[in-house]
Amino acid sequence: MSLMLFTASAAYAGGYERVSIPMDGGHLDGILFRPPGQGPFPAVVALHGCGGLWREQGKLSLRHADWGERLAASGFAVLMPDSYGSRGLGSQCGVKDLSVRAGRERVADAAAARIWLQQRSDIRPGQIALIGWSGGGSTVLTAIRSDRRPADGQPDFARAIAFYPSCRVQSESPSFAARMPLLILMGEADDWTPAAPCGYLTKAAQARGEKVEFVVYPGAVHDFDHPRLDVKERDNIAYSASGTGKATVGTNPAARADALKRVDAFLRAP
């Protein structure tokens, strides 16, 4: 499918463009934030968490809108594939038997998004980063493993960022190895996806010479980078650290401010 067909049917709303991303067996819906100008631009594939891409009345979630607008203003095209809505699913935070898994279907979604971007004349095909939040962050960890190298003939992701992922499975895997620079950002008080397993993963990766950076913010909880979310207890969570189905979420202004700076610097690093 040509670039003209991709863009001709898309409608702009709220600073982003709705797009359709071809993949095996169908397509993914997605949204694209595009910087001003002609490009070509570096790009980011951004993966939502278990709550999905949207909130009530079809509005883009505040976190994704905030990050998309910020990154686009900094010169990055940002593609957010909708892994759940494309398959007729809503929030999966309370679902234990997932049909769209972080380590499988969502890895394929990330690859399809990368390839779609690489077909565009306004994107630098070798300068596409991968970023994800929570469940999307867990997908990032799987997608960048050395034993999951892409075989599509296109340039690989250049670097990756994971916000508060679940690192337990990867930290316990003897075969985990990051094939690209990775930045992990966690809250020290996160009781949904605890920081400790990511610390173990980072130490092992660094001992092997891999470029993995781990940042832990004191007192911060899950969703610390949200633009405005009061700290509160959330329930109906399928996999909370305590096993109670409850976890604390909310913005931490200091952690958020630091994360904004770190992400920008990391994405611009040579």
The span from the CA of 235 to the CA of 251, in Å, is: 17
Q: What is the pTM of this model?
A: 0.93
Strand partners, 186: 216
Question: Which range has the worst mean pLDDT, 1-10, 115-124, 199-208?
Answer: 1-10
Q: Where are the domains of the chain?
A: 3-217+253-268
End-to-end CA distance of the chain: 32
Mean pLDDT, range 52-78, rounded to an integer: 93
CATH architecture of residue range(s) 3-217+253-268: 3-Layer(aba) Sandwich (3.40)
pLDDT at 40 over 50: yes
Q: Does the pLDDT of residue 2 top 50, yes or no? A: no
pLDDT band at 8 (very low <50, low <70, confident <90, very high): very low
Identify the CA nearest to 46 among candidates 140, 152, 150.
140
Read off the pLDDT band of 14 (50, 70, 90).
low
Q: CA–CA distance from 76 to each of 15, 56, 62, 68 (Å)?
A: 14, 27, 19, 9
Lowest mean pLDDT among 52-56, 188-192, 221-225: 52-56
What's residue 55's pLDDT? Answer: 86
What share of the chain in percent tops pLDDT 70? 95
Residue with tokens 């007729």: 88
266: left (phi over 0), alpha (psi -120 to 50) or beta: alpha
Cross-strand partners of 60 = 54
